[in-house]
Chain A
Amino acid sequence: MSSVITTEDVHLYYGETEALHGINLNFEKNEITALIGPSGCGKSTYLRCLNRMNDLIPNTTVTGSLKLNGQDIYSPNTDVVNLRKRVGMLFQQPNPFPLSVYENVVYGLRLEGVKDKQRLDERVETTLKQAAIWDEVKDSLHKSALAFSGGQQQRICVARVLAVEPDIILMDEPTSALDPISSAKIEDTLAAIRSDYTIIIVTHNMQQASRISDKTAFLLNGNLIEFDNTEKMFMRPDRQETSDYLNGKFG
């Protein structure tokens, strides 16, 4: 097993406030890692360090070492645009563009300058099938993506991320705005693509974490409390806080 992303002693400051107090986490290739913890524990903040989405928030400082295949993510030489092509992201709120389903999926490919109609068509069909939404949208590919339900929109967004073929997909509570049936479909999609992608998923839903992830990291107040195989973590956590959180004593 080789680590795709290694992070060491990650601190993040919003102005003067320290939101992450030194986090060490490594992510293995083709595994699903779940980040769990109560609201405000810094799991989304940490996730957004990995594709530098925190750059968009003014006054944010990140220190420590974050490496993608050995390349420093925060090095001034790192091209953020290329980084984000390799580290895709799925957001909490389904956020398709106000364009057709087709144009949503090919958005990233068009950015790269792909013009070959056949290749675009092929990517659209493949990724929409991977995202388990093809049957629902195949007859209305040129309809606005906003015309679909939240769960369908989120799966269109999954296809949109898959279309650029990233190595890693970050998911920031991708099912928390969805109904249980749509959530289950997203989870099915994750199961279907897990062999090809490295997935890091932030979730509030501990059942979800236990169902889909290989490893789980528990964060609390900006600290990493425990990081282990999901099965071990849910059955025999080492730390008392983890046990308390998993048993619903707080959070």
Chain B
Amino acid sequence: MDKDNIQVRLMKSSKATREDYFGKTICYVCIGLITVLVGCILYFITSRGIATFTQNHVKLGQFLSGTNWNPGMLDSHGNPEVGALPMIVTSFGVTILAALVATPFAIGMAVFMTEISPKRGTKLLQSVTELLVGIPSVVYGFVGLSVIVPTVRHIFGGTGFGILSGTLVLFVMILPTVTSLSVDSLRAVPVHYRQASLALGATRWQTIRKVVLKTATPGILTAIIFGMARAFGEALAVQMVIGNAVLMPTSLVSPSSTLTSQLTTQIGNTVMGTMQNNALWSLALILLLMSLVFNLVVRVIGNWGKHKYES
């Protein structure tokens, strides 16, 4: 009698087990929805982006290496003028330059916050970086437009619009990202590395340089890549200072256009399904692919760091 009872009870699922299944189901549904959403976005951008090549018969090589951007017009050979190279060059230009300028400042701030003045420095600089994150990009663009562009014009001549102004605006915008991620990776360096180094008669600076920064290198590289991803994708602020002329940049102060700025300025002027519109989608596809590349690089660096330090 008693034994049967236990058997029956063991065969029935308990309330806790059912709740467990319920929770799991909710999780899977959410994950499933997000996966479908991401898949849809990828499919949509890709299908639109390749229409330029499949429907309008633009050659990929021409698209990536051409320097004339005038969708809807035909050049002397009867091919559509959709050379995206000026925008690709400008996008990479501002991104790489902004990262180059921001990195030393970000590492300096991060070292100050974690190694030199962990208490007061962190309090002060933490609020500064948080403030910088919180400022909307249109405000950055506006400040860039009314301060940086005239200054650049004054010093270097030209219109003031161009890669240099874009770089300076992006530098401030990616600084907090790079800084806070660098701080995280410096904080993750175990205290006993520092102690060991100091106990061997290293100065604080030698310890920072030879042990702390070296150990944190993968993390700092990741921080820089995240900063570059942000710079590459930033549209509004850049659009306000870059000049928006789809021309191959001849100098740092010649008006130009990035992939994103071209998208924001032109997408409203085109009709869905036309050559002009498809060409813009192709630019969006490049942006998407680049962000995938950035993510991939972050992964590779992460694995490299793990491999290097944990085995």
Contact = CB atoms under 8 A, between A and B. Distances in A.
B198 A53 contact: yes
Contacts of B210: 107, 110-111
Interface string A120-161: 000000000000000000000000101100000000010011
A91 B192 contact: yes
**SS of B interface (majority):** helix
Given A81-B203, A97-B211, A98-B215, A91 B311 contact: no
A53 B201 CA distance: 11
Contact of A108 (B201, B211, B215, B310): B201
B192 A93 contact: yes
Among A81, A82, A83, A110, chain B packs the most CB atoms within 10 A around the CB of A81
Contacts of A85: 200-201
B11 interface: no
B270 interface: no
Given A98-B308, A146-B311, A84 B196 contact: no
A84 B201 contact: yes
Nearest to A108: B200
Interface string A84-121: 11001101010111110000000110110000000000
Name the interface size band of chain A: 20 to 34
B193 interface: yes
**SS of A interface (majority):** helix
Contacts of B8: none
Given A91-B195, A95-B192, A95-B195, A161 B200 contact: yes
Contact of B196 (A81, A95, A110, A147): A95
A164 interface: yes
B201 A111 contact: yes
A56 interface: yes
A89 B202 contact: no
B195 to A, nearest CB: 7
A97 B197 contact: yes
A6 interface: no
Nearest to B211: A97
Interface of A: 51, 53, 56, 81-85, 88-89, 91, 93, 95-99, 107-108, 110-111, 144, 146-147, 157, 160-161, 164
